Amino acid sequence: MLRQAFAPVSAALLLLLALFQPLPARGAPAVGLLTIDGALGPATADHVVRSIAASTARGDQLLILRMDTPGGLDTSMRAVIKAILASRIPVVAWVAPSGARAASAGTYLLYASHVAAMAPGTNVGAATPVEIGLSPPQEAGRKAPGGDGQDSASAMRSKALNDAAAYLRSLAQLRGRNADWAERAVRESLSISADEALRLRVADLVAPDVASLLEQLDGRKVAVLGQERILATRGAHVVEFVPDWRTDALAALTNPSVALLLMTIGIYGLVFEFMNPGAVAPGVIGGICLLLGLYALQLLPVNYAGLALIALGLVFMGMEAFLPSFGILGLGGIAAFIAGALMLIDTELPGYGIPLGLLVPLAVASALLLFATARLALRTRRRPVTSGAAGLVGLLATVERVGQLRGHEAWVRVEGELWRAVSSAVLRPEQTVRVVGRSGLTLEVVPANGKDSP
């Protein structure tokens, strides 16, 4: 009876407790969290773009980009910025944890985001574009020898610098941040701490952790695609986007070292298939690896002169197996391969160069494979001919029956085949003879023991 009497009271108390719960804790939309750790490449850019779309489709109220990056590729950076600018939910760029940095491409992402946040002990800046190519850095504005204008390298660097400065300034003006400092970060490679960024209006707030960040974002007004929104992030549930198999596979594939290995294996596979038609496996594996390697290279900042030298070097080493040139083609191929690999991706961004620790063993392995193939070809040339007309000479045959030329003509069986044979000696049935020559479809034979029959 008591339990039945107190049941309505308990239900009423539970209802009151639920009503007095803070609104964000009860029904606030979730907050997405995505980490960018390392250089910004094609795999990371793809992961960020897909995560923004997934967070929007899931109904998150915002997405936090937790960044610690030394920079990245220009194409990847612009793909992410386009996704941020077109996002239907606010994107918060947060440089964290303490000790992290948002250098180069990271500075652009920070400026492009709806809210820019940094953790204490972090820094942002150094947004000068990095040259990719063989030319050493030169000062913009240097005159060409004997002329009035700039040389081509200086002109290209000046164009890239002006383009990057204008791009970052436009992002700063779009988000209402310090545009003058943004341009200096590009032209003078300036870098500042989190506190300085907050004071100079480069960053909007400083937060040491996710809880503090959500606390400061709560109630903040942001403009998303021209519409003002008020964030309600206090106590919101945080859902982290973890890289999936596609991101991991793309990251491995777009590693310059992996791309070079795939292309090398691909070309060697095709060479071995051409050397042994019908083997199938080398051709299939080689074709797949070559296509994967070329796909990876088209996503990377490739120096096409280096790529051409690598391809030429591999072709030369393959031709050495077909056209032995006493090592000239092979050595030239090795030299071209090494030079091309060094030139393939010449950039100061970490993780986007070909390490010598891979290049040297790969060149040595190619050289050993080349010389092993050449040695095998030379050994094969020294072997006696075992096919065609010359292949019959020296074989033993058995006389099946004697013809009408007084025993100087007979039919002999050689390797299971019946041949017409003539001899200067008198032949007899079931005699063993040796083939010493061939004229058309007629064999010349002599007795195997070297003596004529009586």
Q: Is 350 exposed, middle or buried (0-12, 13-18, 19+ CB in 10 A)?
A: exposed
Using CA atoms in the order 208, 80, 70, 348, what is the torsion angle rounded to 10 degrees?
180
**Secondary structure (DSSP) of 120-181:** TT-EEE--PPPP-SSSPP--TTPBPTTSSSB-HHHHHHHHHHHHHHHHHHHHHHHHT--HHH
Pair (345, 287) in one structural domain: yes
Pair (291, 242) in one structural domain: no
Give yes or no for a contact between 209 and 94, defined as CB atoms under 8 angstroms apart. Answer: no
Pair (412, 366) in one structural domain: no
Give the residue from 199, 216, 246 where a domain finishes: 246
Q: For the domain that residue 429 is a member of, what is the CATH number?
A: 2.40.50.140
Pair (313, 188) in one structural domain: no
For residue 453, being part of any structural domain is answered with no
Q: Find, among 64, 62, 77, 137, the residue nearest to 107 by Cα.
A: 77
Beta partners for residue 116, in sequence order: 93
Give the residue from 200, 217, 246 where a domain finishes: 246
Give yes or no for a contact between 443 and 435, defined as CB atoms under 8 angstroms apart. Answer: yes
For residue 198, being part of any structural domain is answered with yes
For residue 452, being part of any structural domain is answered with no
Q: Is 416 exposed, middle or buried (0-12, 13-18, 19+ CB in 10 A)?
A: exposed
Pair (139, 35) in one structural domain: yes
For residue 236, being part of any structural domain is answered with yes
Pair (29, 121) in one structural domain: yes
Pair (214, 148) in one structural domain: yes
Q: What is the pLDDT along the chain (454 residues), one digit of tens a residue?
A: 434 444 444 444 444 444 444 444 445 689 999 999 988 888 999 999 999 999 999 999 999 999 999 988 888 899 999 999 999 999 999 999 999 999 999 999 999 999 999 999 999 998 888 654 433 344 434 444 444 445 666 777 888 889 999 999 999 999 999 999 999 999 998 999 999 999 999 999 999 999 999 999 999 999 999 899 999 998 889 999 998 888 888 888 888 888 888 888 887 787 777 777 777 888 888 889 888 888 887 777 777 788 788 888 877 876 766 665 666 777 788 788 878 877 776 555 666 667 777 777 877 777 777 677 666 666 665 555 555 556 677 788 888 888 766 667 888 888 778 888 888 888 888 888 888 888 878 888 888 876 554 4
Count structural domains, the chain. Answer: 3
Using CA atoms in the order 151, 302, 368, 283, what is the torsion angle rounded to 10 degrees?
-140
For residue 35, being part of any structural domain is answered with yes
Pair (315, 238) in one structural domain: no
Give the residue from 382, 397, 417 where a domain finishes: 382
Range of the domain at 241: 2-246
**Is the four-CA dihedral 15, 17, 18, 22 of positive or negative sign?**
positive
Q: Which helix (H) or strand (E) holds 367?
A: helix 356-382
Pair (200, 329) in one structural domain: no
Distance CA 126, CA 90 (A): 26
Q: What are phi and psi of 144, to 5 degrees?
A: -75, 145
Pair (98, 188) in one structural domain: yes
The two three-digit tokens of residue 182, written as one number: 């943004």
Give yes or no for a contact between 413 and 397, defined as CB atoms under 8 angstroms apart. Answer: yes
For residue 293, being part of any structural domain is answered with yes
Pair (21, 85) in one structural domain: yes
Q: For the domain that residue 217 is a member of, what is the CATH number?
A: 3.90.226.10
Q: What is the pTM of this model?
A: 0.67
Pair (53, 136) in one structural domain: yes
Using CA atoms in the order 213, 216, 221, 222, what is the torsion angle rounded to 10 degrees?
-20
For residue 34, being part of any structural domain is answered with yes
For residue 122, being part of any structural domain is answered with yes
